[in-house]
Amino acid sequence: MKDTELKALVTLLEDEDEEIVTHVEQKLMELGTGVIPLLEEEWESAFNPLKQRRIEDLIHMLQFELFQERLEDWKTNRSEDLLEGMWLIATYQYPDLDLDDLRQQIHQLYVEVWRELREDLLPYDQVRIINSVLFNGLKFRANTKNFHSPANSMINAVLESKKGNPISLCAVYMLIAQKLELPIYGVNLPNLFILMYEGTESTFYINAFNKGLIFTKQDIDNYLEHLNIPPQDYFYEPCSNEDIILRCLRNLVVSFEKLGDYHKSDELKTVLSKMDDQFSGLA
């Protein structure tokens, strides 16, 4: 369809006949995300508030459709790339977010840590160095004041503010560890996401939400006992990147519900309902 035809179609969004508007919206949705740039141009030049609102709704629906398609494609083809998965989560709020820019930011953090590490360091000392650089030097920290803010699950916002929730701070930690080729993985605990250093001679756990506190399996036992939750094997073992992304989505559902933004929480519930049969994870 030519641009002139598209513009004529968009003009009909001003029509007072709901049937015509519905038909136009369906037609534009069928054309897919390629029409977003034109819709944005039309929004900027529109003086009719009703037309602007309808264009905004259309753009969001198209971006949400793209969000779901990209998430499924990542799960099927590139789930080993945790950063891409975290980027996708962030594109729900920031559709124009650049993945390469995030990669550069993570690389810079890696360089900061790499400068301080030595090859002869033992696992505990390696982790203490990462903790020192991230939490003391770079000032990454837990966002306890606004724990349920959606920004805590958006990696771009976490990298900018240096504040996050357990899973986002763990994700940043893991991404740096991966570049350092250290065996550090995510672990799904009830109400808390942690990390695990799983080496051939040394295994221990790391709480990124508490400045990288190092602890043991016995500490997890005590934590579960305090919550009156029976131990499960997966409370002590590495989880997949799919688990991490699913848990991020669940966190966002709670965040938007607490803000009273039920439209967004319902949208993400729709995503989760489609993913439940494909992803394992813990709320």
pLDDT along the chain (283 residues), means of 10: 70 73 78 79 77 84 91 94 98 95 98 93 96 98 94 97 97 97 96 95 95 97 96 95 95 96 95 68 36
pLDDT of residue 33: 76
What are the CA-CA distances from residue 272 to residues 246, 252, 269, 280, 281 (Å)?
Answer: 7, 11, 5, 11, 11
pTM of the model as a whole: 0.86
Question: Each residue of 46-78: pLDDT tens digit?
Answer: 777 877 888 888 888 889 999 999 999 999 999
pLDDT of residue 90: 97
Q: Where are the alpha helices (H) located in the chain, listed in sequence order?
A: 3-11, 18-31, 36-45, 49-77, 82-91, 99-114, 123-131, 155-161, 166-179, 217-226, 241-259, 262-275
CA angle 245, 251, 254 (to 5 degrees): 150
pLDDT of residue 103: 98
3-class DSSP state for residue 232?
coil
